[in-house]
Structure formats: C-alpha cells, structure tokens
A = this chain, B = another copy of it.
Amino acid sequence: MADVTARINPLFLRDEELRQGIEFLYFAYREFTKEPDTILSEQGLGRAHHRTIYFVGRQPGISVSDLLSTLRITKQSLSRVLSQLLKEDYIRQRPGLRDRRQRLLELSPKGVELERKLTENQRKLLARAYREAGAEAVEGFRKVMLNIMSEEDRAHFPAQTTPPLPGWRGTGGGAS
C-alpha cells in the first residue's frame, strides 16, 4: 500500500524527505542545547554565554572583533554577555601585543572548568550519535552539514581529505 503513494505522486517522497530534514535540524538542535542550557541557568548564565565561552576556549587569545565576526551579533549584545563573564571571572583579557587597542580574550581556570562541563555534555551526545550511526554515516553527516552552512562559515573547516588541524579559522597561532 505504501508504494501506491510513490506511484501516484513521485514528488511526494521528495517533499517528505526535505520536510524531514527540516525537522531533523529543529529537533536535533533543540536536544543539543537542552542540557547545557540547564547547566548554564544554574550558574545564572544563558546560551549566549555558552557561545562566548565556547569560542574563547576554542581560540584562546581571540580578539573581540574576531569573536564578533564569529558570532555575528552586535557588539552591544556581546558586551552584555562578555562584561558579565569578565566580572565573574570566567574570562580574562589582556591587551594585544602588536596592537594595544585589542583586548585578547582567554578563559580563566573557572571558565575552563565550565567550558569543559558544557562541551563535555555535547561531546558525549555527539559521540554517542556518531558511534551508533557509524563512521560512514558521520562522513555523510559532515558533508551535508558543511553544505548547509554558509560558504564563509564552511571556509573555517579544513577539507576532510586531510585530518582536521587545530588552527581553526586560520588564525591558528598568531593574532589576526
């Protein structure tokens, strides 16, 4: 009986497949942020703080403007979040060496601890999903996700043919 639908309307399956994809994004993202959100709210922080902590942990010494272009929010929005993280000593800043106007950001020990706790959670979720889906599926997942994201964001990831390297976003070692 199921085949009848496909025979009658071959476009239907295509539409259904794409709608499922839409829902995958929604449901997976929701699950992905659920636990971290809970942990964060216990510390009086929110998802925006998570993102900031995450990317500062990812690129220690990142400048404010680089962080802004990664997050693509306004400086006023970041400011609110960043000020709190500085005040509560999750993040520390030091002036840039070459350009003393810059405030280079890095996690404090307290920030490292929280980052670990939050990311650990998402890593476990992902690791489980990867394991249950299998290596080949992970490669497919990677391909599709890279194609969904904007070209600019995609450029931050090395091609899969070579193993991923630490110098994410090309600002690897030095300041940008």
A residues with a Cβ closer than 8 A to B are: 2-3, 5-6, 12-13, 15-32, 51, 54, 58, 72, 119, 122-123, 125-130, 132-134, 136-150, 153-154, 156-157, 162-166
Contact of A17 among B25, B149, B153, B164 (CB under 8 A): B164
Question: How many Å lie between the Cα of A144 and that of B32 in the bound state?
Answer: 12
- Tell me how many chains of this kind the complex includes: 2
Closest 8 CB pairs of A and B: A140-B140, A137-B140, A129-B147, A141-B144, A24-B145, A133-B143, A137-B143, A27-B149
- Point out the residues of chain B lying under 8 angstroms from A145, CB to CB: 24-25, 27-28, 141
- Point out the residues of chain B lying under 8 angstroms from A32, CB to CB: 25, 148
